[in-house]
């Protein structure tokens, strides 16, 4: 188990690193658009903010209770405003630096100067300087409540972009407290906590992000479940890994997640019947990628008296190119044996069909259907198995339902397959691992026959 977890952990981290990189890079682009209404268009006329004729302060310069900029900085602020409106950012910054050196300055003056500097630095793509400017503006205590909603979120994304994780987390909390955090912000918070090796809080914020995405009618981002998977892997928490993989399969239906999930579920299974049922999920989801899995599945099928299905499994292994050189001779010998037995079963189909039709019990019909399935005749397989289930007296209803569901899936009847596989839940003695995997398989089937399988 430890070797499996380590191997999976290495693969998982590769995915998460990519996801983190993409998400964090996207923050830098969002920062520039987040406060777009605060840059070029911001310096506009506001009669309540004019402290001297000729100076038009931006909306952020309009303070409470009629606060306005001091006359001492009027010339520089007017020049800075004109430069900003013309996108002459270097000139604007020079004027603001001069204004900052004037004395005396009120707290509102300082807030406005630093706020405008933040705008300039953002447009110069200087996120570190922008963060420092907005932090200085925030420290003056002169932002109005409605401005703080934007400022906290802006500083959160700036700090995240600048890889100041601890600060970003603090600003992110404040952003969430004022109700300004988006689903993407919550996702970034989960990532930031993970990067701080705080899996507990990463999970808390990840759950908030998932809920936010779902509330907005959007699927959650894959990286949210990858983070949970990685945390569980690092803690050797097998159940946690399984839970994350179930979510990842539901979200993406990727064969890589199916493969790792099924390997974990199969790891402690010792019953051959249940192991074969698990292998069938792996085979049908096209997530089987090791030749040893194909070989073991074929052997289990042979032992269960299903050489036709076993033959199909080995032929798939050979055609897919996964078979290792050291296993080719052994596999060829096994395949030859299975072919001989499968051919004999096909020849016996007419007599077996007649015998099953006369038998009041359903077990022979199910056996007949399984032989048809191994021969690739899925329509007759479904007909025979369905007849057997209807008669009753079937030894293993779990296998009968699965075989019928697989036959209907092969016949491009996903709706019927879903209905049949749903019956597994009514069986009192079905293995919990088998039930969960086939329920998941059924959930991933398309809703209509016209959708791709």
What per-residue confidence (pLDDT) applies to 50?
A: 29
Residue 240 falls inside a structural domain: no
Same domain, 192 and 330: no
Q: Calculate the CA dihedral of residues 350, 354, 359, 365 and round it to 10 degrees.
A: 40
User: Residue 449: is its pLDDT beyond 90?
Assistant: no
- pLDDT tens track for 355-374: 999 999 999 999 999 999 99
Tell me which of 322, 347, 372 is where a domain ends. 347
Residue 333 falls inside a structural domain: yes
What per-residue confidence (pLDDT) applies to 451?
A: 54
Residue 279 falls inside a structural domain: no
Same domain, 196 and 49: yes
Same domain, 211 and 65: yes
> How many separate helices (H) and strands (E) can be counted in the chain?
22, 0
pTM of the model: 0.83
Mean pLDDT to the nearest integer, 108-134: 96
Residue 390 falls inside a structural domain: yes
Q: Treating both helix axes as pointing N-terminal to C-terminal, what angle do 325-347 and 363-374 enclose, rounded to 10 degrees?
A: 130
Mean pLDDT to the nearest integer, 239-247: 97
Residue 112 falls inside a structural domain: yes
Same domain, 378 and 404: yes
Same domain, 202 and 64: yes
- Number of independent structural domains in the chain: 3
Same domain, 55 and 110: yes
Tell me which of 323, 347, 371 is where a domain ends. 347
Least confident residue range of 62-66, 188-192, 343-347, 439-443: 62-66
Same domain, 128 and 195: yes
Tell me which of 216, 249, 274 is where a domain ends. 216
**40 vs 225, more confident:** 225
User: Residue 56: is its pLDDT beyond 50?
Assistant: no
Sorted by sequence, the CB contacts under 8 Å of residue 367 that are 6+ apart come out as 305, 352, 356
Instruction: Judge residue 251's burial from the number of C-beta atoms within 10 Å of its C-beta, 0-12 exposed, 13-18 middle, 19 or more buried.
Output: middle
User: Residue 433: is its pLDDT beyond 90?
Assistant: yes
The answer to whether residues 37 and 265 touch, using CB atoms and an 8 Å cutoff, is no
Structural domain boundaries enclosing 329: 290-347
CATH number of the CATH domain containing 204? 1.25.40.10
- pLDDT tens track for 79-120: 999 999 999 999 999 999 999 999 999 999 999 999 999 999
User: Residue 55: is its pLDDT beyond 70?
Assistant: no
Give the DSSP letter of residue 355. H
Of the chain, the end-to-end C-alpha distance in Å amounts to: 32
Q: What percent of the chain has pLDDT over 90?
A: 82
Same domain, 82 and 196: yes
Mean pLDDT to the nearest integer, 199-214: 97
The answer to whether residues 177 and 208 touch, using CB atoms and an 8 Å cutoff, is no
What per-residue confidence (pLDDT) applies to 254?
A: 96
User: Residue 28: is its pLDDT beyond 50?
Assistant: no
What per-residue confidence (pLDDT) applies to 73?
A: 95
CA distance 356 to 367: 9
Same domain, 330 and 358: no
What per-residue confidence (pLDDT) applies to 129?
A: 97
Same domain, 183 and 202: yes
3-class DSSP assignment, residue 14: helix
User: Residue 6: is its pLDDT beyond 60?
Assistant: no
Least confident residue range of 57-61, 277-281, 321-325: 57-61
What per-residue confidence (pLDDT) applies to 178?
A: 92
Mean pLDDT to the nearest integer, 236-251: 96
Residue 182 falls inside a structural domain: yes
pLDDT band at 68 (very low <50, low <70, confident <90, very high): confident
What is the average pLDDT value for the chain, to the nearest integer?
A: 87
What per-residue confidence (pLDDT) applies to 36?
A: 45
pLDDT band at 35 (very low <50, low <70, confident <90, very high): very low
What per-residue confidence (pLDDT) applies to 447?
A: 79
- Cα separation values, 252 from 28, 89, 216, 221, 242, Å: 27, 45, 19, 10, 15
Same domain, 371 and 335: no
Same domain, 167 and 179: yes
């Amino acid at each position: 188990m430890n070797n499996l977890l380590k191997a999976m952990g290495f693969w998982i981290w590769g995915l998460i690193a990519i996801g983190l990189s993409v998400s964090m890079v996207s923050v830098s682009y969002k920062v520039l658009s987040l406060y777009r209404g605060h840059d070029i268009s911001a310096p506009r006329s506001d009669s309540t903010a004019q402290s001297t004729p000729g100076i038009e302060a931006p909306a952020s310069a309009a303070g409470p209770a009629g606060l306005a900029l001091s006359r001492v900085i009027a010339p520089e602020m007017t020049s800075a405003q004109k430069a900003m409106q013309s996108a002459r950012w270097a000139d604007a910054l020079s004027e603001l630096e001069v204004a900052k050196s004037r004395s005396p300055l009120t707290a509102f003056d300082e807030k406005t100067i630093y706020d405008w500097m933040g705008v300039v630095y953002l447009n110069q793509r200087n996120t570190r300087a922008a963060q420092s400017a907005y932090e200085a503006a925030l420290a003056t205590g002169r932002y109005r409540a409605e401005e703080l909603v934007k400022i906290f979120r802006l500083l959160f994304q700036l700090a995240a972009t600048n890889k100041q994780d601890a600060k970003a987390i603090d600003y992110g909390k404040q952003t969430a407290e004022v109700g300004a955090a988006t689903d993407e912000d919550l996702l970034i918070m989960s990532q930031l906590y993970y990067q701080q090796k705080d899996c507990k809080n990463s999970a808390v914020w990840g759950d908030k992000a998932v809920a936010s995405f779902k509330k907005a009618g959007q699927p959650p981002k894959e990286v949210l479940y990858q983070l949970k998977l990685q945390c569980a892997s690092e803690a050797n928490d097998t159940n946690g890994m399984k839970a994350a993989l179930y979510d990842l399969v539901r979200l993406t239906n990727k064969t890589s997640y199916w493969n790792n999930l099924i390997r974990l579920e199969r790891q402690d299974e010792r019953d051959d019947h249940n192991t074969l049922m698990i292998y069938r999920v792996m085979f049908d989801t096209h997530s089987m990628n090791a030749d040893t899995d194909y070989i073991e599945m074929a052997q289990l099928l042979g032992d269960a008296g299903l050489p036709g299905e076993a033959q199909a499994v080995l032929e798939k292994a050979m055609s897919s190119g996964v078979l290792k050189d050291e296993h080719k001779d052994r596999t060829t010998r096994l395949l030859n044996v299975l072919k001989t037995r499968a051919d004999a079963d096909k020849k016996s189909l007419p007599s077996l069909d007649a015998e099953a039709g006369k038998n009041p019990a359903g077990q022979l019909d199910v056996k007949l259907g399984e032989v048809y399935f191994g021969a690739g005749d899925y329509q007759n397989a479904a007909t025979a198995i369905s007849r057997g289930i209807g008669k009753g007296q079937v030894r293993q209803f779990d296998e009968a339902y699965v075989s019928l569901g697989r036959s209907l899936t092969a016949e491009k009847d996903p709706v019927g397959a879903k209905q049949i596989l749903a019956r597994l839940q009514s069986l009192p003695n079905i293995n919990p691992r088998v039930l969960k995997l086939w329920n998941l398989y059924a959930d991933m089937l398309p809703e209509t026959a016209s959708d791709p399988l």
